[in-house]
Amino acid sequence: MDYAALALDIDEGAQLDAGSALEILRAPDSELLDLVTAASALRRRHFGHRVKLNYLVNLKSGLCQENCSYCSQALGSTAPIVKYSWLAQDEAVHQAEAGIAGGAARVCLVASGRGPLPRDVERVSGIAAQLRQQYPDLEVCACLGLLKDGQAERLAESGVDAYNHNINTAESFHDEIVTTHSYQDRLATIARVKRAGVSPCSGLIVGMGESDEQVVEALFALRELGSESIPINFLVPFDGTPMEGRWDLTPVQCLKIVALARLTCPSTEIRLAGGRETHLRSLQGLALHVANSMFLGDYLTAEGQAAAADLELIHDNGFTIEGEQRPLDAVDHRPRVRGRGAGTGLSPNA
Ligand code: SF4
């Protein structure tokens, strides 16, 4: 395939079709750099050399009654995770500040569970309002599960800019991974978010046993939905979940999926999310030439060393952080000697 010509057509307004999308996922590995070069041209056109950093604050962990088979917090999961009920507002703001200090432009306030009670919406609204008051330029995203009428509007009033609710996978595969809620339930929440004027953030998890056709189906659905930010999660198959032992992905395949997302949605924020370290491994730098956004540090905890490694990854690849003032040549490229924090996980409600 002539990837450069394809990117040019897309830049001029053409939409990627399903046949070409499948061809990209099945491209010979020897064509990887040509594919990345074409996708990165679109990335640079819309986002320059900037990387947007996002930071997760896990407001409530575990204790969920849903049966999402990829999730360590699901009903029936025996994965050894930390479980706690809602963080106090001060603690949540304090945790968010660690991400803001690291350069995060967006803080994602995440809670496990099917969806929020009215009092939960009030808790999150309080945290969002305080963050927006103290950091007027900060974007605040909430990720609380399925919403009921009026809840997106209340979050918007308090200063929530975006709401994350992933479709996770293709409609044709959805019921294989969860049965306590439907794909249509997910679409209904995304519709509520859009009606409230909140920016819809919706993405997917790959590596759960879906076919190539279903990866394409999911990405094309996100294009149709108008998701303004697309997190791509790579399955971390936690022991104690139905996905235990499922390691279907290779780094090259992950990179092809990221490139496919860029070619499908050329001007949309594409975010490297859960599992990127484990699955992209040494290709994370190349993936940043296609994706323009990532989570800073860990997903369920906030370890300083992991965040430092992420900042190094960004600068080593010649990027600047969105909102960062310093020019490229002012970036400190001297090596640092230190340990490397580990650990990753999918966000709740992923
Ligand atoms: S993804 Fe969300 S809704 Fe599903 S089991 Fe995990 S915490 Fe519960």
Which CATH number covers residue 211? Answer: 3.20.20.70
pLDDT in tens, 230-252: 999 999 999 999 999 999 999 99
Q: Residue 300 has what pLDDT?
A: 42
Q: How far is the first Cα of the chain from the last one, in angstroms, to the nearest whole number?
A: 33
- Which positions ≥6 away from 280 have C-beta within 8 Å? 234, 251, 254, 255, 272, 287
Ligand 1 centroid distance, CA of 60 (Å)? 11
Is 75 a member of any domain?
yes
Ligand 1: nearest atom to the Cα of 114: 3
Is 177 a member of any domain?
yes
Ligand 1 centroid distance, CA of 348 (Å)? 5
Phi-psi region of 11 (alpha: psi -120 to 50; beta: other; left: phi over 0): alpha
Is 313 a member of any domain?
yes
Q: Whose CA is nearest to atom 1 of ligand 1?
A: 349
Does ligand 1 lie within 6 Å of residue 62's CB atom? Answer: no
Q: For strands 204-206 and 320-321, give the pairing.
A: unpaired
Structure tokens at 219: 């990405």
Structure tokens at 176: 């294989």
Ligand 1, residues 59, 68, 144: which to mutate, most atoms within 8 A of Cβ?
68
Question: What is the domain extent for residue 77?
Answer: 3-330
Is 111 a member of any domain?
yes
Is 254 a member of any domain?
yes
Does ligand 1 lie within 6 Å of residue 102's CB atom? Answer: no
Measured CA to CA, the distance from residue 181 to residue 201 in angstroms comes to 19
Does ligand 1 lie within 6 Å of residue 66's CB atom? Answer: yes
Q: Which of 258, 324, 332 is nearest to 289 (CA)?
A: 258
Mean pLDDT in runs of 10 for the chain (350 residues)?
98 98 97 98 97 95 92 91 92 94 94 96 98 97 98 98 98 97 98 98 98 98 98 95 96 98 98 95 97 81 63 94 63 44 44
Ligand 1 centroid distance, CA of 235 (Å)? 14
pLDDT in tens, 53-112: 999 999 999 889 999 999 999 998 999 888 889 999 999 999 999 999 889 999 999 999
Is 342 a member of any domain?
no
Q: Residue 303 has what pLDDT?
A: 46
CB 220 within 8 A of CB 21: yes
Q: Which of 113, 115, 182 is nearest to 146 (CA)?
A: 115
Q: Residue 334 has what pLDDT?
A: 52
Does ligand 1 lie within 6 Å of residue 93's CB atom? Answer: no
Q: Residue 350 has what pLDDT?
A: 58
Q: For strands 106-111 and 162-164, give the pairing.
A: unpaired
Q: Residue 309 has what pLDDT?
A: 87
Measured CA to CA, the distance from residue 52 to residue 270 in angstroms comes to 10
Q: Residue 349 has what pLDDT?
A: 52
- The one-character DSSP state at 109 is E
Ligand 1 centroid distance, CA of 82 (Å)? 14
Does ligand 1 lie within 6 Å of residue 68's CB atom? Answer: yes
Is 172 a member of any domain?
yes
CB 200 within 8 A of CB 225: yes
Total domains in the fold of the chain: 1
Is 277 a member of any domain?
yes
Give the bridge partners for 295, in sequence order.
54
Ligand 1: nearest atom to the Cα of 74: 5
| Radius of gyration of the chain measured on its C-alpha atoms | 19
Does ligand 1 lie within 6 Å of residue 73's CB atom? Answer: yes
